Structure 1
C-alpha cells in the first residue's frame, strides 16, 4: 500500500498537488513537499479555465475566501485582437451555443445572420457583458445564471455537465502561498531545502531525494513539480521529451507587471493581441495588469520583444522590471514513469494562448487520484494514466495549431511562416472540413482536452475561416424560431449588462 508521497517543487503545481492529495486522502497518506528558496518561480499573472472551480470546490474553498488574497479577478472569456487585421477583434467566451429547431445559432447565423454583426456578438451573451465590463455576479453575490450557482462539492472534470460562465485571473505566486497555508494546516510536511541528488535503486526507480540540510527524504511515490527543469522525470529517470516546436514555434516570453492608471477600469476577460512575432497577453488583476509577449526567437530577439511589449503596454515606464522566460514546448512521452509522476511544466506545456497551464495541472492531479497505485505499481494503471494525459495535451496542441493557421494574417515573416508550416494530419483534415461546414463533437479532436466544438467553431469563425454556406437543411425549415432566439439572446444580454455591477465594483466589495 502507498502510504507516503514526496512532492519535489513548490509553486502552483506543487501546492495544488499537495492540497488536493490531502483533500482526497486526508491522513491516510503522508505528503511531504520540498521546495528551494533558490529556485525562482515563473510567477506571472495567470488565467484559467472555468473548470478550475471544480478544484477549489473539491478543497471546500469559497472564492470569497481565496480570491481577494490572490489579487484575483473574473475572466468571462478571451478577447482576440488583431488576429485578422489591425482593429479587428472577437471573443472566445465560456458559453455554449443555443439552438433552434435542432440546429445551433452558429448554423442559423450562417443562414440568416446579418454579416455586419460579428458571429460572436450575434450568438453569445458574453461579448455584451465583456464590452460593458460587467461582473458575472450581483453585489449580493448571486450569479447571473442562477441555475449554475452554488458549490459543486467533491466533483471533478469528469463531472462537468454545464458550461460555467467564468474563470479567474490571479497572481500565481499568491495562489501558491495561499494553498501552501491550506496544505500545511492539513498536515502536509513542508521542507524548505535544496535537492542535490536523486537516488535510484537497482531497478532505476527513485529511492530518495538528498537535500542539503534535511538529509535523504524518502517516499513511496514521487511527484515532480520542478518546472521546466524536470529534475526527477527527465534528468534522473531519463524520460524522453517530445518537442512541439515544429508546429508551435513560440519558445520564449517576456512579462511585465503594469499598474493600471485607473484601477477601476478592469476588463473581465483575458486579451490576446497579435504582435509582429507572436502575441501579447493582458491579464487584469484586481489592482494591476499582468502583461507579456509570447514569441519565437527565430523571428525576434528577446531585446526586441521586450521593447515591442513596453511600447505597447508601458511606454515611458523603464522602471518596470521585465521577466524573460524560456519555454519548453511539448510533453514527455510518459509523464508517469516507475514511481514518479510529473505534474505541471515538468510534464507538458503548449504555450499559454488558451490558458491551459492550470488546466493541465488540475487534470493531472485528478487523474493521479483516480489512478492512484498500490505498492505493486500496476503497469496497466500507469499506461492508462499516461494515455489520458497525452491525449489531453495533444488535443490542446491541435487546437492551438488551428489558431495560427486559421488566422487571416500574413503581414510579417512570422505570420507568413504560420501559413507554410507543415500541419499535423488531423488539423489539416479539420481545417478542410471547416471550409464546408461547422464542426461538431464528432469532427473535432475526439478525446477529452477541455475544449468543446463551440470553441473550435468560435475560433474558426472569429479568425476568418467561414464555411461556404449553411447546411442545406436550414433552407427547408421555417426560420421564425431561430429569429426569436436571436432576439431573446440580445434582450437578455442587454438586460444583464444593465443590471450587473462592473467587474471592479463587485471585486472591491469582497476585497474591502
Structure 2
C-alpha cells in the first residue's frame, strides 16, 4: 500500500493537490506538504475553466463559502479585443452552440445570419450578459440556466455532460491560503522550511526530502509542485522538458495589481487584448483588477513591455509594483518518473491565454487519483497517466496556436511572424478544413484537452477564419426552424439581461 505522499511546494498547485488527495483518501493516506517561506509565488493564474466547479464540489465546498474569501468574481467567457483590427472584439463564452435540424447555429449563421451583427452576438445568449455586465446568478442564488444548479458531489472532469455557464476569477494566493486551511484541518501536515537536499535510493527513486530545520521527510510518493524550477522532476530525476517555443513564442509576462476606480461595476469576463508583441489580460476581482502583458522577448524588452502595460491599464500609476515573470513554455516528456509526479508549472505550461494553468492542475490531480499506485508500482498506471496528461497539454498547445494563426492582425513584426511561424502538422490540416466547413468532434484535436468543437469554431469565426461558403446541404432544408431559433436566442438574451442583477451587485451581496 502507498501510505504517504510528500508534496514539495505550496501555491495553487501544492494546496489543490493536498486538499484533493485528502478529500479522496481521507486518513488512509498521510499527506505532508513542505514549502519555503522564502519562495515567491507566480500568482498569474487568476482566471479558470468552468470545470473548476467539479474540484470545489469534490471537496464539499459551496461557492458562497469560498469565493468571497478569495476576492472572487465570475467569468462568463473571454473577450478578445483587437486581434483582427483595432476596435474589433468578440467573446468566447462558456456556452455550447444550439443545433437545428442537425446543424449548429454557427452553420446556420453562415447561411442566414445578419452579417451586420457579429457571429457571437447572433448565436449565443452569454454574450449579451457580458455586454450588460450581468451576474450568472439571481439575487436568491439561483442560476440563470435551468437544470444545472446544485452540487455535483464527488464528480470529475470526465463526468461533465452539460456546459456550465461560468468559471471564476480569484486571487490565486488567497485560494492557496484557503485550501491550506482546508487541508490542514483535515490532517495534512504543513511544514514551512527550506529544502536542502533531495535524497535518492540505489534505484534512483526519491527516498526523502531533507529540510533545514525539520530534518528528513520520507514518503512513498512525491509530488513536485516547485513551479518552473522542476526541483524534483527535472533537477533531481533528469526529466526531459519539451519546449513549445517553436510554435508559441511568448516566454515572459509582466503583471500589475490595479485598484478599480469604479467600485460599483465589474466585468463578468476576462479580457485578452492584442498588443504590439503579445496580449494584455484584464481579470476583474472584487476590489481590483489583475492585469498583465504576455509577450515574446524576441520582439520587445521587459522594460518596454512594462511601459506598454502601464500605459494601457494604469496610466499615471507608476507607484504600482510590477511583477516580471519568465515562463517555461512546454511540457515534460514524462511528468511522472519513478515515484515522483509533477503537477502544475513543474509539469507543463503553455502561457496564460485561455486560462489553462489551473485546468492542468485539476486534470493532473484527478488522473493521479484514478491511477494512484500501490506497492507494485505497476508501470501501466504511470504510462497511462503520462499519456493523458501529455494529450491534454498538446491539445491546448494546438488550440492556442490556432489563435495566432487565425488572427488577421499583421501590423507589427510580432504579428507578422505569427502568420509564418511553425505550427503542428495536424493543426495545419484542421485550419485548411476550417476554410471550407466548421470543425466537429471528428476534426478537432481528438483527445481530451478541455475544449469542445464550439470553442474551436468560435475562435476561428471570431478571428476571421470563416468558411468560404455555408454547407450546401442547408440550401435544401427549410430555414424556418433556424430563423425561429435565432429569434429565441435574442429573446432569451433580452429576458436574462432584464432579470439578472449586475455582477457587482450580486457579489457585493454574498460578500456582505
Q: TM class, shorter-chain normalised?
A: over 0.9
Q: How many residue pairs get matched? A: 512
Which residue of structure 2 lines up, in the alignment, with residue 264 of structure 1?
264
Do the aligned residues in 2 keep the contact of 1:195 with 1:210 (CA within 8 Å)?
yes
Which residue of structure 2 lines up, in the alignment, with residue 136 of structure 1?
136
CA–CA separation in structure 2 for the residues paired with 1:209 and 1:17: 18
Which residue of structure 2 lines up, in the alignment, with residue 368 of structure 1?
368
Equivalent residue of 2:46, what SS? strand
Do the aligned residues in 2 keep the contact of 1:45 with 1:290 (CA within 8 Å)?
no
Equivalent residue of 1:281, what SS? strand
Which residue of structure 2 lines up, in the alignment, with residue 162 of structure 1?
162
Output one character per residue of 1:262-320: Cα deviation in whole Å (capped at 9) or x when no partner.
Answer: 11221000000000000000000000000000000000000000000000000000110
Q: 1:246-285 counterparts in 2 under 5 A?
A: 246-285=246-285
Q: 1:305-320 counterparts in 2 under 5 A?
A: 305-320=305-320
Which residue of structure 2 lines up, in the alignment, with residue 214 of structure 1?
214
Which residue of structure 2 lines up, in the alignment, with residue 17 of structure 1?
17
CA–CA separation in structure 2 for the residues paired with 1:422 and 1:337: 30
CA–CA separation in structure 1 for the residues paired with 2:449 and 2:416: 28
Output one character per residue of 1:73-123: Cα deviation in whole Å (capped at 9) or x when no partner.
Answer: 000000000000000000000000001111100000000001111100000
Which residue of structure 1 lines up, in the alignment, with residue 56 of structure 2?
56
Shift of 1:43: 1.8
Shift of 1:423: 1.6
CA–CA separation in structure 1 for the residues paired with 2:346 and 2:100: 45
CA–CA separation in structure 2 for the residues paired with 1:428 and 1:84: 20
CA–CA separation in structure 1 for the residues paired with 2:460 and 2:161: 24
Which residue of structure 2 lines up, in the alignment, with residue 410 of structure 1?
410
Q: 1:175-254 counterparts in 2 under 5 A?
A: 175-254=175-254
Do the aligned residues in 2 keep the contact of 1:4 with 1:29 (CA within 8 Å)?
yes
Residue 293, structure 1, aligned to residue 293, structure 2? yes
Which residue of structure 1 lines up, in the alignment, with residue 422 of structure 2?
422
Shift of 1:146: 2.2
CA–CA separation in structure 1 for the residues paired with 2:265 and 2:410: 33
Cα distance change on mapping 1:420 and 1:96 into 2, 3 Å: same
Please report the TM-score for the alignment, with normalisation by the length of structure 1: 1.00
Equivalent residue of 1:253, what SS? strand
CA–CA separation in structure 1 for the residues paired with 2:30 and 2:239: 26
Shift of 1:44: 3.5
CA–CA separation in structure 1 for the residues paired with 2:474 and 2:24: 49
CA–CA separation in structure 2 for the residues paired with 1:100 and 1:31: 51
Q: 1:81-100 counterparts in 2 under 5 A?
A: 81-100=81-100
Output one character per residue of 1:457-478: Cα deviation in whole Å (capped at 9) or x when no partner.
Answer: 0000000000011111100000
Output one character per residue of 1:52-85: Cα deviation in whole Å (capped at 9) or x when no partner.
Answer: 0000000000000000000000000000000000
Unmatched segments (≥5 aa) in structure 1: none
CA–CA separation in structure 1 for the residues paired with 2:422 and 2:65: 47
Equivalent residue of 2:383, what SS? helix
CA–CA separation in structure 1 for the residues paired with 2:45 and 2:500: 25
Which residue of structure 1 lines up, in the alignment, with residue 454 of structure 2?
454
Which residue of structure 2 lines up, in the alignment, with residue 335 of structure 1?
335
CA–CA separation in structure 2 for the residues paired with 1:359 and 1:216: 32
CA–CA separation in structure 1 for the residues paired with 2:351 and 2:264: 30
CA–CA separation in structure 2 for the residues paired with 1:294 and 1:422: 20
CA–CA separation in structure 2 for the residues paired with 1:62 and 1:374: 32
Do the aligned residues in 2 keep the contact of 1:45 with 1:283 (CA within 8 Å)?
no
For the aligned residue pairs, the C-alpha RMSD in angstroms reads 0.5
CA–CA separation in structure 2 for the residues paired with 1:378 and 1:305: 48
Do the aligned residues in 2 keep the contact of 1:157 with 1:363 (CA within 8 Å)?
yes
Which residue of structure 2 lines up, in the alignment, with residue 150 of structure 1?
150
CA–CA separation in structure 2 for the residues paired with 1:415 and 1:338: 42
Which residue of structure 1 lines up, in the alignment, with residue 35 of structure 2?
35
Unmatched segments (≥5 aa) in structure 2: none
CA–CA separation in structure 2 for the residues paired with 1:58 and 1:214: 32
Do the aligned residues in 2 keep the contact of 1:233 with 1:239 (CA within 8 Å)?
yes
Shift of 1:45: 5.8
Equivalent residue of 1:312, what SS? helix
Residue 379, structure 1, aligned to residue 379, structure 2? yes
Do the aligned residues in 1 keep the contact of 2:45 with 2:358 (CA within 8 Å)?
no
